[in-house]
């Protein structure tokens, strides 16, 4: 089963060929970071135009790298939500046109479900059919969620952010610190040699609580908007904290507060989650400090954990083709609807 995946939900144009849901034959990602950098964030109109320019060469490069012909493909899979409407439209339109031209089916894939699946692209990780329930910490630029996944597609939402996503908090924090876009890697770099305990930033919603918010236990939810505000006030009150000598400490302390909040919830949820292990997915999962902190938590609690390989953490099409392949092998053909879905929800079970 050979599937061509296409991803264009935000600021990466990506195409990939994946065999039998797990073997990545090619993985081409064209990042638009340089185009958006002057604006400090993604500009949707620039993104969709850049997707239009990059789509054909990126798809051709993925086919070339995989060394296959169009006829060898079984299907095309494309992200149809969530994401920026005008960006999603570029990928979906390209996939539809290509499907018509080469006479292959086109499947629609949920971007966040694909992030959750991305861990299975690691050949060292057991396949989805040999895995028990997983506790997934999904940390991207737009989402921060804790999910219990039993089989592909069967997800229970346990907790999520009530305001900013952790990636968003890093991106906005980096802007305040003058570190540029994207903020996560910029903060990670700036924090090298910094003391993460030097500045005290808030760990939002920390502590036990049996209050529920929108059906979710508050103690399993996240809040990062106060962290960002605390940084703003810190800089306003003490501009010298951004001097070359202090900046590494501020960056390290800010990053530490964000990751402590993530780990606090994981530690709280893990004992009752009845899961085989924790998996870390999404762009922020590339962060080495976050991985080191999970190593330490695992050593303390015995919680096994595994992260998606770095190449498949940030947006990519291998996770799209991989999930589509895995679903097809289960006899499911994920339908592509007639539109794109900027706010497409994951199909959660009712047990919150």
Residues of this chain that interact with ligand KG4 (CB under 6 A) are 10, 140-142, 167, 170-171, 182-185, 188, 282-284, 286-287, 314-315
> Up-side HSE of residue 138: CA atoms within 13 Å toward CB?
27
CB of 138 to ligand KG4, least distance (A): 9
Q: Which is nearer to ligand KG4, 171 or 256 (CB)?
A: 171
Q: Which is nearer to ligand KG4, 241 or 262 (CB)?
A: 262
Strand order in the sheet with 2-7: 23-31, 12-19, 2-7, 75-81, 106-110
> Up-side HSE of residue 339: CA atoms within 13 Å toward CB?
5
Are 163 and 225 in contact, with CB atoms under 8 Å apart? yes
CB of 19 to ligand KG4, least distance (A): 24
CB of 170 to ligand KG4, least distance (A): 5
Task: Report helix angle 183-190 to 166-176, nearest 10.
Answer: 60
Phi-psi region for residue 331, left (φ > 0), alpha (ψ -120 to 50) or beta?
left
Q: 348 burial class (0-12, 13-18, 19+ CB within 10 angstroms)?
A: middle
Q: Which is nearer to ligand KG4, 26 or 118 (CB)?
A: 118
CB of 71 to ligand KG4, least distance (A): 32
CB of 284 to ligand KG4, least distance (A): 4
Beta bridge partners of 136: 147, 279
Q: Which is nearer to ligand KG4, 75 or 284 (CB)?
A: 284
| DSSP H or E stretch at residue 86 | helix 85-102
Q: Which is nearer to ligand KG4, 264 or 315 (CB)?
A: 315
Q: Which is nearer to ligand KG4, 142 or 204 (CB)?
A: 142
CB of 41 to ligand KG4, least distance (A): 10
């Amino acid at each position: 089963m050979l599937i061509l995946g296409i991803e264009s939900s935000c600021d990466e144009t990506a195409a990939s060929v994946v065999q039998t849901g797990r073997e990545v034959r090619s993985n081409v990602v064209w990042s638009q970071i340089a185009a958006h950098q002057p604006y400090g964030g993604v500009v949707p109109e620039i993104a969709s135009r850049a997707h239009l320019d990059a789509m054909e060469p990126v798809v051709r490069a993925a086919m070339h790298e995989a060394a296959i012909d169009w006829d060898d493909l079984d299907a095309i899979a494309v992200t149809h939500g969530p994401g920026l409407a005008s960006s999603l439209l570029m990928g979906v339109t390209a996939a539809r046109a290509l499907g018509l031209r080469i006479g292959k089916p086109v499947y629609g894939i949920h971007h966040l479900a694909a992030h959750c699946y991305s861990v299975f692209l690691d050949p060292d990780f057991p396949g989805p059919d040999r895995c028990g329930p997983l506790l997934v910490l999904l940390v991207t630029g737009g989402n921060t969620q804790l999910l219990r996944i039993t089989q592909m597609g069967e997800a229970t939402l346990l907790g999520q952010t009530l305001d900013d996503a952790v990636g968003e908090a890093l991106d906005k924090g980096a802007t305040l610190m003058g570190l540029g876009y994207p903020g996560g890697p910029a903060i990670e770099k700036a924090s090298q040699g910094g003391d993460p305990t030097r500045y005290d930033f808030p760990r939002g919603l920390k502590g036990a609580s049996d209050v529920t918010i929108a059906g979710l236990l508050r103690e399993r939810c996240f809040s990062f908007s106060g962290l960002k505000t605390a940084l703003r006030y810190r800089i306003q009150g003490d501009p010298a904290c951004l001097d070359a000598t202090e900046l590494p400490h501020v960056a390290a302390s800010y990053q530490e507060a964000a990751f402590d909040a993530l780990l606090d919830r994981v530690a709280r949820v893990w004992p009752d989650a009845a899961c085989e292990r924790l998996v870390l997915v999404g762009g922020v999962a590339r962060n080495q400090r976050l991985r080191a902190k999970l190593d330490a938590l695992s050593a303390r609690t015995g919680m096994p954990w595994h992260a998606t390989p770095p190449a498949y953490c940030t947006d990519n099409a291998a996770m799209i083709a991989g999930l589509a392949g895995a679903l097809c092998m289960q006899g499911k053909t994920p339908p592509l609807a007639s539109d794109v879905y900027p706010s497409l929800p994951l199909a959660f079970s009712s047990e919150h």
